[in-house]
Amino acid sequence: MYKANDDRYQNMVYRRCGRSGLRLPAISLGLWQNFGYGSSFENAEKMCRTAFDLGITHFDLANNYGHPFNGSAEENFGRILDRGLREYRDELIISTKAGYDMWAGPYGDKHGSRKYLVASLDQSLHRMGLEYVDIFYHHVYDPEAPAEEIAVALDDIVKRGKALYVGVSNYNSAQTAEIYDIFRELHTPFIVNQPSYSMLNRWVQEDGLNKWVGEHGIGLAVFSPLHQGLLTDRYLKGIPEDSRVGKGNTWVGGMLTEDMVKRLNALNEIAKERGQSLSQMAVAWLLNDPAVATVLCGASRPEQIINNVGALKKLDFSEDELNRISELIK
């Protein structure tokens, strides 16, 4: 039976999520890839246990996570909970989301209707064997669903005790502002937005989302911090055949031009000077943004989680380092 590391909280950094009372680990584990039925359950369990042993208390899922079947990541996570981790439920932040296509018919496709959101969360709770999740997100903005309907549905979910906090994902600043006003009227514990964000994907800065959430007390839980693996040492010498780009399993392959490889190598040199890997510096750079509460890191093996947590050993940047990085990623 699993017993957690007694020293798990010694080296993790915990950051307040916006102006809420909730603190999240600076690094969280995202279960988007490598946790479904098409992956090794033994490896998935090792990754979750490794994460918790390192002080990672936040595990992020969604109704459609898991290959090849939607929901299989939640089912496997439920099994992992049953095999020892459930004992630590009150030390865990478990989040899930609903918004993308999930089941057949007009009520399970991509949208934000009250029917879809409530039904989806009930299914997620059943798959994981939980009475509630800590954070429930609307996963993607739906222009056809009224913001009021989405907000009221999420508010009701909290009032029914099925989620403690709510959030949105893939919403820009204008979309977030619209639903924020409704949540304020309802007194809903809306605390977080989950956007993609990395050195190579800075739309939250261009959109002003990071500034907006900072002004309104909302935290950012950012995903794809390594930009589908580009911000690792994987592609410094080209494209390995066994990589995600080499296999055609990611949409960022077109970015790997000769110029991009040169810039990645220059970034890697800065990371070396800092005593970090490129991926560790990429995570630390995100945590340099005060709007970021946590960085959601995916993994395919436990060693990657250990490496990502190593980023916390050096979070500060000199002005010269930030300027050099800015020149390389502009």
Q: What is the pLDDT of residues 198-215, one digit of tens each?
A: 999 999 999 999 999 999
Residue 85 lies in a domain: yes
Residue 252 clears pLDDT 80, i.e. is over it: no
The reported pTM is: 0.95
Residue 181 lies in a domain: yes
Q: What is the per-residue pLDDT for 241?
A: 62
Q: What is the per-residue pLDDT for 175?
A: 98
Residue 155 lies in a domain: yes
28-34 average pLDDT score: 98
Q: What is the per-residue pLDDT for 103?
A: 95
pLDDT digits (tens, 9 = 90+) for 118-158: 999 999 999 999 999 999 999 999 999 999 999 999 999 99
Residue 113 lies in a domain: yes
Share above pLDDT 70 across residues of the chain, in percent, rounded to a whole number:
95
Residue 236 lies in a domain: no
The band of 255, judged by pLDDT with boundaries at 50, 70 and 90, is: confident
The band of 240, judged by pLDDT with boundaries at 50, 70 and 90, is: low
| Average pLDDT score, the chain | 95
Residue 244 clears pLDDT 80, i.e. is over it: no
Residue 246 lies in a domain: no
Three-state secondary structure readout of the chain = CCCCCCCCCCCCCEEECCCCCCEEECEEEECCCCCCCCCCHHHHHHHHHHHHHCCCCEEECCCCCCCCCCCHHHHHHHHHHHCCHHHHHHHCEEEEEECCCCCCCCCCCCCCCHHHHHHHHHHHHHHHCCCCEEEEEECCCCCCCCHHHHHHHHHHHHHCCCEEEEEEECCCHHHHHHHHHHHHHHCCCEEEEECECECCECHHHHHCHHHHHHHHCCEEEEECCCCCCCCCHHHCCCCCCCCCCCCCCCCCHHHCCHHHHHHHHHHHHHHHHCCCCHHHHHHHHHHCCCCEEEEEECCCCHHHHHHHHHHHHCCCCCHHHHHHHHHHHC
Number of structural domains (the chain) is: 1
Q: What is the per-residue pLDDT for 238?
A: 73
CATH number assigned to the domain comprising residue 86: 3.20.20.100
Residue 73 lies in a domain: yes
Residue 128 lies in a domain: yes
Residue 76 clears pLDDT 70, i.e. is over it: yes
Give the residue numbers spanning the domain of 306. Answer: 14-230+287-313
